[in-house]
């Protein structure tokens, strides 16, 4: 049992957990923003510390739990891309691991319905279904990136609706702006992850953008793509879709995020294959997670700074525990 749990936790790849964790916390921050915003406030109440801990715990674990499902569905390409991954080597029993994940998802649904807010379970289910769809969508070029980005927005919606009761169901422009940016940043982040899986995806018939266009063209797009989130942000701001006043904190954190995004693009341009491609994932994840933490500044500047710093440090530490690029 201990051996099984160690293999299960290893397969969760917890350095990814900040992706769903911080994305979901944007939703919680937005909910608390509604509590204090007289124009948009309806029946929202400040969630208790206990509820926020439960939400945060489930958001962070949701990536790992779903990752087991993803590994189960992607065994074919993992035998080439990650031959030492626990489920590939047999260290982790696929059926038992999948059963545990399904059990944890059911438990999460029960907690959501009976302790948090029942409506939020919709986004929990949607996230799981999109994760399953993603494994097949990645075989169709950009569809994989679109589905992945959309899947992460479910974490944001879950965090917002699980935080407490609300009658504010209208898709307000600043909420829509945050979701669009999360969608774009995560779609871009997963594009970079395809570099390390190029050979396996190609042999398994997974026509990701990297497979379709090849490494030579894809590494050029790696640099161009680094500027896409900033471009989308500027369009949203200029068109006044994002009407929230931008403060100094957001600008500073935003500049740091852009630097990491450009650094990511350069790393994949110069190292589209090999061990360095895997190591570049740390910068890629940091850029995405810190970008999400920056968006918290729309609603809570102090929290945004705290999450930015914690995310940057913890992603580096957790990623450092996974040194075997074949696993």
Per-domain residue ranges of the chain:
2-320
Taking 80 as the threshold, does the pLDDT of residue 66 lie above it? yes
Taking 80 as the threshold, does the pLDDT of residue 41 lie above it? no
Residue 45, CA distances (Å) to 13, 148, 152, 163 in order:
34, 32, 25, 9
Per-residue pLDDT band for 70 (boundaries 50, 70, 90) equals confident
Residue 313 token pair: 């440090």
Taking 60 as the threshold, does the pLDDT of residue 282 lie above it? yes
Residue 277 CA to residue 282 CA, distance in Å, equals 10
Determine the 3-state secondary structure of 258 from DSSP: helix
- Give mean pLDDT, residues 178-193: 95
Residue 230 CA to residue 278 CA, distance in Å, equals 25
Taking 90 as the threshold, does the pLDDT of residue 182 lie above it? yes
Task: Give the residue, 44 or 53, on which the prediction is more confident.
Answer: 53
Read off the pLDDT of residues 120-172 as tens digits, 9 standing for 90 and up. Answer: 999 999 999 999 999 889 889 999 999 999 999 999 999 999 999 887 655 56
Residue 30 token pair: 């937005």
Per-residue pLDDT band for 254 (boundaries 50, 70, 90) equals very high
Per-residue pLDDT band for 104 (boundaries 50, 70, 90) equals very high
**Contact criterion met (CB below 8 Å) for 257 and 296:** no
Segments in the chain forming alpha helices (H):
2-12, 17-36, 49-73, 75-81, 86-89, 94-114, 121-137, 142-162, 173-193, 198-204, 209-225, 228-238, 248-270, 275-279, 281-295, 301-320
Residue among 6, 7, 22 nearest 63 (CA): 22
Residue 241 CA to residue 81 CA, distance in Å, equals 41
Which of 73-82, 85-94, 211-220 shows the lowest mean pLDDT across its residues?
73-82
For position 327, what pLDDT does the model report?
A: 55
Determine the 3-state secondary structure of 207 from DSSP: strand
Taking 80 as the threshold, does the pLDDT of residue 117 lie above it? yes
Taking 70 as the threshold, does the pLDDT of residue 225 lie above it? yes
The whole-chain average pLDDT of the chain stands at 89
Q: Which long-range CB contacts under 8 A does 73-78 form with residues at least 24 apart?
A: 73/132, 73/135, 74/135, 76/204, 77/197, 77/200, 77/201, 77/203, 77/204, 77/206, 78/200
For position 63, what pLDDT does the model report?
A: 85
Which of 75-84, 179-188, 189-198, 291-300 shows the lowest mean pLDDT across its residues?
75-84
CA atoms within 13 A on the CB side of 96: 12
In degrees and rounded to multiples of 5, residue 48 shows phi and psi of: -70, 160
For position 173, what pLDDT does the model report?
A: 64
């Amino acid at each position: 049992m201990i051996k099984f749990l160690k293999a299960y936790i290893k397969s969760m790849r917890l350095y990814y957990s900040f992706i769903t964790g911080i994305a979901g916390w944007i939703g919680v921050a937005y909910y608390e923003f509604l509590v204090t915003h007289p124009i948009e406030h309806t029946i929202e109440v400040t969630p208790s510390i206990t509820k926020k801990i439960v939400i945060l715990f489930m958001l962070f674990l949701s990536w790992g739990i779903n990752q087991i499902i993803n590994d189960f569905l992607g065994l074919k390409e993992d035998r080439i891309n990650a031959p030492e991954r626990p489920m590939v080597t047999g260290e982790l029993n696929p059926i038992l691991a999948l059963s545990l994940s399904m059990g944890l998802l059911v438990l999460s649904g029960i907690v959501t319905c009976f302790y948090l807010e029942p409506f939020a379970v919709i986004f929990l289910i949607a996230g799981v279904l999109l994760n399953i769809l993603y494994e097949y969508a990645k075989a169709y070029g950009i569809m994989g990136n679109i589905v992945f980005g959309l899947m992460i927005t479910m974490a944001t919606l879950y965090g917002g609706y699980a935080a407490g009761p609300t009658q504010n169901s209208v898709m307000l422009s600043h909420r829509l702006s945050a979701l669009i940016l999360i969608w774009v940043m995560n779609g871009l982040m997963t594009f970079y992850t395809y570099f390390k899986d190029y050979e396996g995806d190609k042999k398994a018939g997974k026509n990701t953008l990297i497979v379709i266009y090849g490494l030579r063209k894809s590494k050029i797009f790696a640099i161009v793509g680094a500027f896409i989130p900033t471009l989308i942000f500027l369009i949203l701001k200029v068109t006044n879709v994002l009407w929230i006043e931008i403060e100094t904190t957001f600008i500073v954190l935003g500049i740091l995020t852009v630097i990491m995004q450009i650094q990511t693009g350069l790393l994949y341009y110069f190292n589209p294959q090999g061990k360095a491609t895997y190591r570049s994932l740390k910068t890629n994840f940091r850029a995405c997670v810190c970008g999400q933490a920056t968006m918290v500044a729309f609603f809570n500047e102090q929290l945004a700074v705290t999450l930015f710093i914690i995310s940057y440090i913890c992603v580096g530490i957790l990623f450092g525990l996974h040194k075997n690029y074949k696993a």
